[in-house]
Structures are given as C-alpha cells and as structure tokens.
Amino acid sequence: MKQLYIKQKVFSLSGKFTVKDQEEKDRYYVEGSFMMVPKTFSIMNTSRDEVALITKKTFSFLPKFFVEVNGQEVLTIKKELSFLKARYTIDAAGIEVQGNWWDMNFQVLQHGNVVGEVGKEWFSWGDSYRVQILDGEMETIILALVIAIDCVKADEAAASSVN
C-alpha cells in the first residue's frame, strides 16, 4: 500500500502543485493551464513525462471533463441537469467511486474491488488530500481521478461565485 499527498497552494494563479509520498518526496508534478481554452491539467512523473491529462470540454451545454492516462481516455466526469443541487456522474469502464466524492471522502473500486481510498485533510491551509493506493497498477488513474474531481469542484465554485 502506498500513500500520496496532494496539497494545493491556495493563492496559486498558475495551478502548479506537487504530489508527495509518505516520506514527503515529490512523486508527481501537476500543471494547470491558467486562462487558456480548453482548460487542462497535466500530471507528470518525476522525469517530467506526462502520465495523465485532464481536459475540460469547451462549448458544452453542461460541464464535462475528460481524463486521459498514457494517451488513453479512461474516464469522463459530467454535470447532470439538475435544478436543486449540482449533480455529476463519473463514467469509466470498470471503475466506480463509492462514498462522498463531493467532500473528497471516497473509495475507488475496479470491478468491485477497492483499489484506492481518498480522504480530505481538514486541518490544513488549502485543499489537501490523502490518497491510499491499494493496487499499484491503478496509481495514475486514481491520482488523475482525484485531481479531476477537485478541478470539477473548483470549476463549480467559480461558476457559483459569478452568479
């Protein structure tokens, strides 16, 4: 089992942050495209090779985010039409999220088996998440999923602050 920690800088306009392991060593670098269309987040390993890409679909009636890992689209997060509360669905072959993913406390399952767990760190400055990887082969997908969900939440918060 491996643990990763995601801590975003609160006032970072560039959308850059690192993902660290339990020894506080850098494991991944994340760079967002600030003020660009389409909005993207690139996840790179320590050699700065891109291992995942999150893209917000432009010109869509409802927000939609695509997640690619190693050049293959693995999941889509899309907003559903709802009048009372924002509702999103996650579409991925064999991958399921159980728990309260809007509050960042959930399990990631692949074909019914738990492969990762995510928990929000409450007493920290900025958004911080603890990600437990139970299946090493799913590490990049789980990491990309967590960052994509956080991106969806930030997008929703920005949209509601404008209204």
pLDDT in tens, the chain (163 residues): 899 998 765 445 557 889 999 898 999 999 987 667 778 889 999 999 999 999 988 776 777 889 999 889 989 988 777 666 666 778 887 888 888 877 888 999 999 999 999 998 766 555 688 999 999 999 999 998 888 888 777 777 776 666 5
Looking at the structure of the chain, the number of domains it has is 1
Look at residues 152, 144, 160 and name the one whose alpha carbon lies nearest to residue 42: 144
Q: How many CA atoms lie within 13 A of 80 on its CB side?
A: 8
| Phi/psi of residue 156, nearest 5 degrees | -65, -40
**CA of residue 15 relative to chain centroid, distance:** 13
- Record the tokens describing residue 91, joined without a space: 């579409």
**CA of residue 129 relative to chain centroid, distance:** 10
Whole-model pTM over 0.85 = no
What CATH number is given to the structural domain containing 110? Answer: 2.40.160.200
CA distances from 89 to 9, 28, 82 (A): 27, 26, 12
Residues 6+ apart with CB under 8 A from 103: 120
Buried b / exposed e along 109-128 (16+ C-beta atoms within 10 A)? ebeeeebbbbeeeeeeeebb
> In terms of residue numbers, what domain contains 59?
2-162
Residues 6+ apart with CB under 8 A from 35: none
